[in-house]
Amino acid sequence: MLGEGILKGLAETAKNFAGSYFSAERLTTVEYPEQRIAPIEAARDFPFLVYDSKNQGDGGDWEAGLRCVSCQICEKECPPKCIYIEKSKDKKPDALGKPQFYPTRFDIDISVCMSCQICVEVCPFDAIKMDTEFELSTTDRFGGLLLDRQQLAKPNEYYHKIHPTEAAKVDAHLAAEKAKADAKAKAAADAAAKAAADAAAKAATVGGEA
């Protein structure tokens, strides 16, 4: 029937309107900002950088705990080109203890960012994730919307708070990778110790024969 969809929409609206006088479940709005609806776990707004203060043993130092290794993949893949990264000249240990470069500059222009999440998808180190914070209005049109690495840095605990399911999976993956790295390092150390012991035993045998 012509206009059937419009009639169904009007009927749903009328039902919600009339029902709102009798049932709170029919209320479709809240009195913002006095009342707020908690964002769903899959909500996303703008990116932030994750840091691991506990894993690094740095006492909460965001700079030392940043997961970002300045690979610049997110900068290259960003469609609106709103990410700006400068790589360090030296290296620091990452979460697995492997020396890595780090960003001396990491800026995101949220006035340009379109929240596409491509930066999150391409990051191989789980260093950048999507935030749920949306109250970011400012009177400074340019500087106020250009966030630097310190403003972007948030602890892993915050990531667990806003995206608990996703964060748990990431932690499990990182823990597995760290276990593999530790096992590999232990195997290499054991092999080196065995080689040194064999060399010492051989030297002692040659010395005794002489």
Amino acid at 46: F
Edge-to-edge strand list for the sheet holding 128-130: 128-130, 47-51, 153-155
- Three-state DSSP state, 12: helix
Task: Please provide residue 137's backbone torsions phi and psi, each rounded to the nearest 5 degrees.
Answer: -65, 150
Rounded CA separation 184/191 (Å): 11
How many percent of the chain have pLDDT more than 90? 49
Question: pTM of the full predicted structure?
Answer: 0.77
Q: DSSP class of residue 39? A: P
pLDDT at 101 (0 to 100): 93
Which residues face 51 on adjacent strands? 66, 155
In whole angstroms, give the CA distance from residue 151 to residue 88. 19
Closest CA to 85 of 112, 63, 105: 105
Residue, of 107 and 197, whose pLDDT is higher: 107
Of the candidate ranges 87-96, 124-133, 197-206, the one whose mean pLDDT is the lowest? 197-206
pLDDT band at 190 (very low <50, low <70, confident <90, very high): confident
Mean pLDDT of the chain: 87
Question: Would you state the pLDDT for residue 57?
Answer: 47
User: Contact at 8 Å (CB) between 123 and 114?
Assistant: no
**Which domains are delineated in the chain?**
47-155 (3.30.70.3270)
DSSP code at position 66: B
Locate tokens 């340019």: which residue? 142
Q: Position of tokens 């790295």?
A: 181
At residue 201, does pLDDT exceed 80? no
pLDDT at 59 exceeding the cut of 70: no
pLDDT of residue 21: 83
Is the model's pLDDT at 56 over the cut of 50?
A: no
CA 80 to chain centre: 20
Please give the single-letter amino acid code of residue 67. Answer: R
Q: In 3D, which of 68, 134, 132, 140 has the Cα closest to residue 106?
A: 68
Contact 156, 52 (CB under 8 A): yes
